[in-house]
Amino acid sequence: MKRQVKAAALLLALCALLSLTSCKKTENLSDISRPEGFATGDEAQIQEMTGAAEKSENVNGMRFTFDLLGFSQSYNNSKKELGQNDLIFYGNWRKQGETEKDDNGTEIDYYYYDDINVNFTATVEAHTGKLLNIGCGTTMSTFMGQTGDKNNSDLILAKAALMAQTVCQFPKESRSVIQDIFFRTATESNDTLWYKGFVFNLSTREDKNDRKNNVMLFRVFPISEELRKEWKLQEYIF
């Protein structure tokens, strides 16, 4: 339990300190296998969704239209469709620290949620309650391990993909596409990709006291078209 709490604290610290330029990967993740059922060319032709994000005065120029409650409910609906019972209970989201301001003066709050093998993190716009970004994080040792005869990396990538598909309000057929995006951020040199209006990113942080607690965070957030051009983001192409 202490290790899980420590990992959650590191993830929130990572979430609070993140810029677009990610921290250097602390482990070689190139050895993880591509999950089964990855994206096909047809599935990658997903139309850009128009109702998942809206303009905002925050530093990214956009926010999700979901708040934590709406995300939790939609995520659970998808879980039930998949016949999975590891649901998210809205009341179990925990606020971390005090309200802060981003560089544009927008007040933001940080939340986390303890789940099986992962912690979800969320940055929330304080005055609207709407999500600015959301992430699925874990420790490197957990990610590289196994549960039974299954690779944890497959399970965690699938959970991160479901998280992102939910908050971006993509159709369920897109999950394997998003899983492939996160897989590429973990195994290729570019850990940040743009797709259909959203940034998909893997960031890591080293725990100098115990390398087993090195953390990694898959996250997604919307940005304005102006920032996309300014940051010269690489687009995900299947």
Decide if pLDDT at 194 tops 70: yes
* pLDDT band, residue 25 (cuts 50/70/90): low
Which pLDDT score is estimated for 44? 46
pLDDT digits (tens, 9 = 90+) for 53-70: 999 999 999 999 999 999
Task: Map out the domains of the chain as residue ranges.
Answer: 2-29+52-231
DSSP 8-state code for residue 22:
P
Q: What is the DSSP string of 66-125?
A: -BHHHHHHHHHHHHHHTT---PPPGGG-EEEEEEEE-TT--EEEEEEEEETTEEEEEEEE
CB 210 within 8 A of CB 192: no
Q: Residues 72, 77, 83, 85: what is their CA dihedral angle, to the nearest 10 degrees?
A: 30
Which pLDDT score is estimated for 15? 56
* pLDDT band, residue 208 (cuts 50/70/90): confident
pTM: 0.87
Determine which of 19-23, 38-42, 141-145, 231-235 has the lowest per-residue pLDDT on average.
19-23
Determine which of 12-16, 174-178, 213-217 has the lowest per-residue pLDDT on average.
12-16
pLDDT digits (tens, 9 = 90+) for 117-151: 899 999 999 999 999 999 999 998 899 998 888 89
Nearest-angstrom CA–CA distance, 204 and 217:
6
Which pLDDT score is estimated for 20? 36
Q: What percent of the chain has pLDDT over 70?
A: 81
Nearest-angstrom CA–CA distance, 66 and 167:
7
Name which residue leads in pLDDT, 26 or 225: 225
Which pLDDT score is estimated for 59? 95
